[in-house]
Structure 1
Amino acid sequence: MTAGGPAARVALCQADGFRWVTLEGRATVTDDPARLAEAVRRYTVRYRAAPPAPLDLVVVEIAVDRVLSLNL
């Protein structure tokens, strides 16, 4: 499954007080079992708990081509 077509662009932003970063790029959405397993593994390592497991779980991958930041 892929969504959005080849031109789907996204921006992912994180702010912490006066510091922030934005990642921009082309996004793809997949429900490929191998990609899902890797995403669940990485989430579990980072948060020390498995992610929620809805039936429609997908992975959003961003090919970052622009980074904007302040005070990082």
Structure 2
Amino acid sequence: MGDIVDMMLEGTLCQGCGVFLNEDAPGIPCSCRECRAEEKKAKAAAYQPPKPKVQCSACGRKVKPTGLPDHMRDAHKELT
């Protein structure tokens, strides 16, 4: 590979933007402070809280909304 890519993989340069990090590379890819902050913001923006569970009308058990048809089929032998 190229020299720049090698330095990014060694940790001499930031793996995101290519800015110089330090001369003593740790041997693993690293990110600069700004890139880590951007990664953290992107991860927080992508987070979706879990959907609330719904109650089964037949037995009262709480299940995920997407799993209710499977629960009805498996536990109550009902086809939905």
TM-score range, shorter chain: under 0.3
Considering fraction of residues, name the structure with more strand. 1
- Normalised TM-score (structure 2): 0.25
Q: More relative contact order in 1 or in 2 (CA 8 Å, sep 6+)?
A: 1
Give the TM-score taking structure 1 as reference length: 0.27
